[in-house]
């Protein structure tokens, strides 16, 4: 079949089978985004794809019309289409997991993923994303967030908002702090590998770690020691003032403070571990 005929058929199939789930303007989008139209039609007309995944695909397409209004330049359109096709391909590849997870959710929560706020916040992140791996991270997070029983709105929105503040280098460095065991530990990369491959120096590497610390992904041991020292000093000063006004003052011993090292040391927080789990390949 000629490419033009294939597109026309794909467009008609996507429009007909998408039905009411596709919003006004989708026809125009399929005219301008042929690869997306073909990918969507391939899912909707495929008998091997379950009803839940077809409904999810229609819901995802339903958000495309208003989203395209902001796509004004050709490179933006190509990026938008690339990211959307990647999204639809992931839906097909993980259809078994998606169907199982969506079916176990309450109808109201399920709808949030299909054509509600959870779908929308995913789109906010991936529509203009330049890094392809970040697009995949968002898609993995979207699917993995279907796993918890009826996830909380704030958890979902916070996840995508924080993920939008990180780039792929941030995530790569965060993964350095994830505990691995056995063969995985032997084959893991280290910070020297990352610095060499990404062409960054130590100051840039430390800047990224500080950023991850501010986002709550890493814990700074020096920061923890500083907080503990301040707490001890506060208690010591309180006791000193108390003894100054005492009729029988007692000696107040100098506090033992934790050593602040010149080289910073970090560890993965529970939040950081959860983020890495959310963006793992759904299983």
Is 165 strand, coil or helix? coil
Q: Specify the pLDDT at position 264.
A: 66
Indicate the helix (H) or strand (E) that contains 218: strand 218-220
CB 41 within 8 A of CB 81: no
Q: Stretch 31-47: mean pLDDT, rounded?
A: 67
Percent of the chain with pLDDT over 70: 67
Q: Stretch 41-66: mean pLDDT, rounded?
A: 67
In DSSP terms, 268 is beta-bridged to 218
pLDDT band at 271 (very low <50, low <70, confident <90, very high): very high
Q: Specify the pLDDT at position 118.
A: 92
Distance CA 208, CA 202 (A): 10
Backbone phi, psi, residue 174, to 5°: -60, -40
Q: Stretch 23-33: mean pLDDT, rounded?
A: 52
Q: Stretch 91-116: mean pLDDT, rounded?
A: 89
Backbone phi, psi, residue 130, to 5°: -85, -30
Q: Specify the pLDDT at position 85.
A: 85
Q: Specify the pLDDT at position 69.
A: 46
* Better-predicted residue by pLDDT, 45 or 196: 196
Q: Stretch 24-31: mean pLDDT, rounded?
A: 50
* Better-predicted residue by pLDDT, 154 or 250: 154
- Closest alpha carbon to 14 in 266, 34, 115, 142: 34
pLDDT band at 145 (very low <50, low <70, confident <90, very high): very high
77 burial type by CB count under 10 A (0-12 exposed, 13-18 middle, 19+ buried): middle
DSSP summary character for residue 19:
G
Question: Domain map of the chain by residue range?
Answer: 3-164
DSSP summary character for residue 220:
E
Q: Does residue 168 carry a pLDDT above 90?
A: yes
pLDDT band at 87 (very low <50, low <70, confident <90, very high): confident
Interior angle at CA 128, CA 215 and CA 105, nearest 5: 70
Tens-digit pLDDT profile for residues 213-258: 999 999 887 665 666 667 766 776 777 777 777 777 777 777 776 6
Q: Does residue 6 carry a pLDDT above 90?
A: no
pLDDT band at 157 (very low <50, low <70, confident <90, very high): very high
Query: By mean pLDDT, which of 5-19, 169-183, 258-272 is the weakest?
Result: 5-19
Pairing, β 266-268 against β 218-220: antiparallel
| Alpha helices for the chain (secondary structure H) | 3-18, 26-32, 34-44, 51-62, 64-68, 74-93, 95-103, 107-115, 117-126, 132-144, 153-164, 168-175, 183-187, 191-198, 202-214, 221-244, 270-278
* Better-predicted residue by pLDDT, 80 or 109: 109
Q: What burial letters (b/e) apply to 246-259, b meaning 16+ CB within 10 Å? A: eeeeeeeeeeeeee
CB 122 within 8 A of CB 86: no
Q: Does residue 283 carry a pLDDT above 80?
A: yes
């Amino acid at each position: 079949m000629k490419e033009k005929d294939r597109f026309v058929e794909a467009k008609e199939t996507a429009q007909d089978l998408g039905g009411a789930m596709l919003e006004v303007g989708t026809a125009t989008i399929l005219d301008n985004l042929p690869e997306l139209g073909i990918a969507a039609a391939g899912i909707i007309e495929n008998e091997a794809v379950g009803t839940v995944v077809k409904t999810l695909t229609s819901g995802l397409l339903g958000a495309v019309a208003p989203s395209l209004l902001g796509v004004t330049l050709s490179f933006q359109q190509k990026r938008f289409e690339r990211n959307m096709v990647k999204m639809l391909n992931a839906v097909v590849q993980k259809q078994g997991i998606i169907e199982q997870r969506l079916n176990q959710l309450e109808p109201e929560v399920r709808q949030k993923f299909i054509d509600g706020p959870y779908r929308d916040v995913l789109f906010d992140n991936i529509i203009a994303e330049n890094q392809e791996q970040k697009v995949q991270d968002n898609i993995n997070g979207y699917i993995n967030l279907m796993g918890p029983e009826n996830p909380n709105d704030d958890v979902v929105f916070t996840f995508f908002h924080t993920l939008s503040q990180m780039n792929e280098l941030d995530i790569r460095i965060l993964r350095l702090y994830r505990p691995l065991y056995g063969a995985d530990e032997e084959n893991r990369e280290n910070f020297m590998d990352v610095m060499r491959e990404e062409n960054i120096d130590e100051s840039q590497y430390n800047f990224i770690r500080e950023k991850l610390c501010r986002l709550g992904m890493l814990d700074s041991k020096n920061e923890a020691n500083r907080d503990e020292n301040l707490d001890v000093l506060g208690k010591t000063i309180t006791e000193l003032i108390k003894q100054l006004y005492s009729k029988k003052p007692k000696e107040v011993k100098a506090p033992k403070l934790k050593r602040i090292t010149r080289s910073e040391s970090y560890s993965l927080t529970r939040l950081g571990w959860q983020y890495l789990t959310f963006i793992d390949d759904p299983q």
